[in-house]
A and B are shown apart, each in its own frame.
Chain A
């Protein structure tokens, strides 16, 4: 299971319009409806699930990254949205830093292992300073999508 499959090009937001946490969560979840990964009729419920999870504890894991997520039967397997914020968003992160990279993961309730695996790969990606730097500097969806392919190759080694 690869990062570029969980976060394909049409699930990438180059620069978030949102400036605050809740608006950010709304904007990234809405992207799933845009791509058809989630039916429009299910989007509000998915959004609620993501918000509920965030209320339990911030998914800002530090180093400018957040991994909001939820389990929901509206999806099959694991779907994701990768979004960037140039300005940074206040996320109540573990290290108090603003968030610039957001990796949303929505998984079907039975996709326990794929979900953990996706989370594992995102975490490993964060340890690659080069990739993180390029992710923050890239300017198009295409570049970002390409970086995720490269990240997958590096992680496979």
Chain B
């Protein structure tokens, strides 16, 4: 079962290195495969380097898809992380 969440990327510095790191770290904590899609390009959401190749700038929509045992928890946790601007106040 694939669980999908669409979340706008509002973080003003976009999906930069630290944000990508937090996303991947969170994704890796779940028993689920995670795919991140931006503007039609999909990458493995557990790989920092792959996430960086998306070059996701503020304003784009992130499509988070999780599949596996903890698909729901993974998708919800990641969506929350994005909505919280990755725990960064104003970006770096």
Across the two chains, which residue of chain A brings its CB closest to B51? Answer: A123
Q: How far is the CB of A64 from chain B (nearest CB, A)?
A: 12
Check B14–A112 contact: CB distance below 8 A.
yes
Shortest B27–chain A CB gap in Å is 14
- Given the interface pairs A69-B17, A113-B14, the reply to whether A61 lies near B56 with Cβ below 8 Å is no
Size of the B side of the interface (Cβ < 8 Å), in residues, is 18
Task: Give Cα A56 to B53, complex, Å.
Answer: 22
Interface contact B17-A112, CB-CB below 8 Å:
no
Q: Does A157 contact B (CB under 8 A)?
A: no
Q: Report the bound CA distance from A31 to B57 in whole Å.
A: 28
- Which residues of A, 107-146, contact B by the 8 Å Cβ criterion? 112-113, 115-117, 119-120, 123-124, 126-127
Q: Is A62 an interface residue (CB 8 A)?
A: yes
Least Cβ–Cβ distance between A113 and chain B, in angstroms: 5
Q: Mask for A28-71, Cβ within 8 A of B = 1, else 0?
A: 00000000000000000000000001001101011100010111
> Inside 8 A of A117's CB, which chain B residues have their CB?
55, 57
List 25 contacting pairs A-B, 8 Å CB cutoff, sorted by A. Answer: A53-B92, A57-B18, A61-B17, A61-B49, A62-B49, A71-B92, A112-B12, A112-B13, A112-B14, A112-B58, A115-B13, A115-B16, A116-B13, A116-B15, A117-B57, A119-B16, A119-B17, A120-B52, A120-B53, A120-B54, A123-B49, A124-B53, A126-B49, A127-B49, A127-B53
Which residues of A approach B to under 8 Å, CB–CB? 53, 56-57, 59, 61-63, 67, 69-71, 94, 112-113, 115-117, 119-120, 123-124, 126-127
Extra contacts, 19 of them, besides A119-B16, A123-B52 (Cβ < 8 A), are: A53-B92, A56-B92, A57-B21, A59-B17, A61-B48, A61-B49, A62-B49, A112-B14, A112-B58, A113-B57, A116-B56, A117-B55, A117-B57, A119-B52, A119-B55, A120-B52, A120-B53, A120-B54, A123-B49
